[in-house]
C-alpha cells in the first residue's frame, strides 16, 4: 500500500507550513495533498504558493501532489476560488463538496473524491465515477463492515471500484458548520475573528462537564478528540484491497508516525503499543479503542 499525507486541517503560519513540507519531502510518502479545506479566510499560502510548493515537492521527491478544495462553500467568492483551483492546469483536485464535483465534471477533469463527500453505496460511487472520480476516500465514520459490503455490492452490480484511499491516522473530521466555533469560544464574531485559530495549531480541545475529552474544535470544523489510528488493522486493510493509507498532518512527531506505517508496510513490527481510537472501523463509538484481530 502507498502512503499519503492529507491536507493540513489546522491554521498554521506560512513559515510553519513551509518548514513542515520541507520535512515531509524527505519522508517515504507517495502522495501529498495540499490546500485549504476548512476556511477560505485562511490565506497563509495563496493558490500560486501552493502550486509552487507542489512543483518543489515533485521535483525533489517525485511525489504525486493533489490540491484539496473546501468542504463547505458559503459564498460566491468561494465558488470563484474553487473554479480557479479546479482550473489550475497542473494538478489533480480533491473534491470535498459537490460543487467541486460539478465544476470538475463539467470541465472533463478527473478528480479524487474526498472524505467529506457522502458516499455510502455502490450506485452513488458509480455516479461519481461517471462524473470523473478516479480515487475515493470513504467517509471517516465508515466501518470496515460497511466498506466491505459496499465493495461486495460493486462486484454484484458489476460496478468498477476506483482507487481506494482510507483515512488511517489523525483527528477525524466529523462535521462542518456555518458557525466558527473557535471564534465563538474566544468571544469573537466570525466576520472579525482575528484568526484566533492560529493560536491552536492542533485545534481547541472541547471537554464534557466531567472534564473528559469529547471533540476538537477547528474553526467551522468539528474533529474527534482523539487521534484515529488503524495501524494495527494493516493486514485487514491490505486484504480488503485498500490502495492508499491517508495520514492527516499534525505539527509534532509526524515523521515518526509516517515511519511506523512505513515500517509495517515493509513487513516490520509495529510499536509495542498502538494507541488512538478505532471504534468507527468496528461499528462502535468512534472514540473507543477496540482490540481485535490485527497486528496488536
- pLDDT (tens digit, 9 = 90+) per residue, 79-99? 999 999 999 999 999 999 999
On whether residue 290 sits in a domain, the answer given is no
Indicate whether 79 belongs to any domain.
yes
pLDDT, mean of residues 4-11 = 98
What is the Cα–Cα distance from 212 to 197, expressed in whole angstroms?
A: 22
In a domain, 177, yes or no: no
Whether 187 maps to a domain, the answer reads no
Q: Do the domain assignments include residue 214?
A: no
206 inside domain: no
Q: Report the SS3 class of residue 39.
A: coil
Domain count, the chain: 1
- The cell for 109 is 477533469
65 falls within a domain: yes
pLDDT per residue over 43-78, tens digit each? 999 999 999 999 999 999 999 999 999 999 988 899
CATH code of the domain covering residue 78: 3.20.20.220
pLDDT of residue 295: 45
Residue 23 backbone dihedrals phi, psi, to 5 degrees? -70, -40
Domain extent for 43: 2-171+228-282
> Distance (Å, rounded) from C-alpha 295 to C-alpha 262?
14
Residue 134 lies in a domain: yes
Grid cell at residue 271: 510499536
- Give me the helices (H) in 132-233, please: 144-156, 181-185
| Greatest pairwise CA separation for the chain in angstroms | 53
Q: Give the pLDDT of residue 175.
A: 96
Amino acid at each position: 500500500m502507498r502512503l499519503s499525507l492529507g491536507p493540513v486541517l489546522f491554521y498554521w503560519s506560512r513559515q510553519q507550513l513551509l518548514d513542515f513540507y520541507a520535512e515531509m519531502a524527505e519522508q517515504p510518502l507517495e502522495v501529498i495533498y495540499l490546500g485549504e479545506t476548512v476556511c477560505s479566510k485562511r490565506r497563509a499560502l495563496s493558490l500560486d504558493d501552493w502550486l509552487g510548493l507542489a512543483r518543489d515537492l515533485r521535483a525533489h521527491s517525485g511525489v504525486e501532489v493533489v490540491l484539496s478544495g473546501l468542504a463547505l462553500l458559503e459564498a460566491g467568492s468561494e465558488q470563484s476560488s474553487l473554479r480557479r483551483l479546479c482550473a489550475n492546469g497542473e494538478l489533480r483536485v480533491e473534491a470535498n463538496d459537490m460543487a467541486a464535483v460539478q465544476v470538475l465534471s463539467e470541465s472533463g477533469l478527473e478528480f479524487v473524491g474526498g472524505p467529506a463527500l457522502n458516499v455510502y453505496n455502490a450506485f452513488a460511487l458509480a455516479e461519481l465515477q461517471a462524473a470523473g472520480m478516479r480515487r475515493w476516500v470513504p467517509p471517516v465514520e465508515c466501518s470496515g463492515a460497511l466498506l466491505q459490503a459496499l465493495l461486495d455490492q460493486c462486484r454484484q452490480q458489476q460496478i468498477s471500484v476506483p482507487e481506494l484511499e482510507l483515512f488511517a491516522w489523525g483527528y477525524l473530521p466529523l462535521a462542518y458548520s456555518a458557525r466558527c466555533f473557535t471564534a465563538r469560544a474566544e468571544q469573537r464574531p466570525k466576520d472579525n475573528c482575528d484568526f484566533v485559530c492560529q493560536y491552536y495549531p492542533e485545534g481547541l480541545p472541547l471537554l464534557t462537564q466531567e472534564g473528559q475529552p469529547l471533540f476538537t474544535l477547528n474553526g467551522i470544523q468539528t474533529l474527534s478528540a482523539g487521534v484515529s489510528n488503524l495501524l494495527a488493522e494493516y493486514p485487514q486493510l491490505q486484504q480488503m484491497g485498500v490502495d492508499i493509507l491517508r495520514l492527516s498532518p499534525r505539527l509534532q512527531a509526524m515523521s515518526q508516525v509516517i515511519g511506523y506505517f512505513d515500517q509495517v508496510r515493509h513487513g516490520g513490527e509495529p510499536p509495542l503499543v498502538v494507541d488512538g481510537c478505532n471504534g468507527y472501523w468496528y461499528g462502535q463509538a468512534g472514540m473507543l479503542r477496540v482490540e481485535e484481530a490485527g497486528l496488536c
